[in-house]
Amino acid sequence: AQKVTQAQTEISVVEKEDVTLDCVYETRDTTYYLFWYKQPPSGELVFLIRRNSFDEQNEISGRYSWNFQKSTSSFNFTITASQVVDSAVYFCALSEATAAGNKLTFGGGTRVLVKP
């Protein structure tokens, strides 16, 4: 069975500090996808990134960057120069292809609090 672990339940930083969110996953599939979603205080879930298991290149999007390491089954997320608007709960998720189709398994989430 697939599993996603976000060991950090809450991280508190001061604005402009960098913050890294850890995500470790377990899967028996060789083909899978990893995701990050953001849930701001308003409650909606916002899709941030999708990464497939064959692409280990790191990705940067503005102040966000992601580090995928298959060798350690990790897909970590870094926010550079954090801002108050980054305060949210962040979820890592894993999709495995099954006979019934693709389903997402979510980690428990990491709450990020950015203080001014």
Partner 1 sequence: DADVTQTPRNRITKTGKRIMLECSQTKGHDRMYWYRQDPGLGLRLIYYSFDVKDINKGEISDGYSVSRQAQAKFSLSLESAIPNQTALYFCATSDFATGAQDTQYFGPGTRLTVL
In the complex, which residues of this chain contact partner 1 (CB under 8 A)?
4, 6, 9, 33, 35, 37, 43-45, 47, 50, 91, 93, 95, 97, 100-104, 106-109
The closest alpha carbon to 31, from 109, 80, 94, belongs to 94
Beta carbon nearer to partner 1, 1 or 85: 1
Helix then strand then coil, % of the chain, to nearest 5: 5, 60, 35
How far apart are CB 32 and partner 1 at their closest, in Å? 9
Which residue is listed with tokens 């350690």? 72
Tokens standing for residue 21: 């969110």
Question: Minimum distance from CB of 39 to partner 1 (Å)?
Answer: 8
Closer by beta carbon to partner 1, 6 or else 82: 6
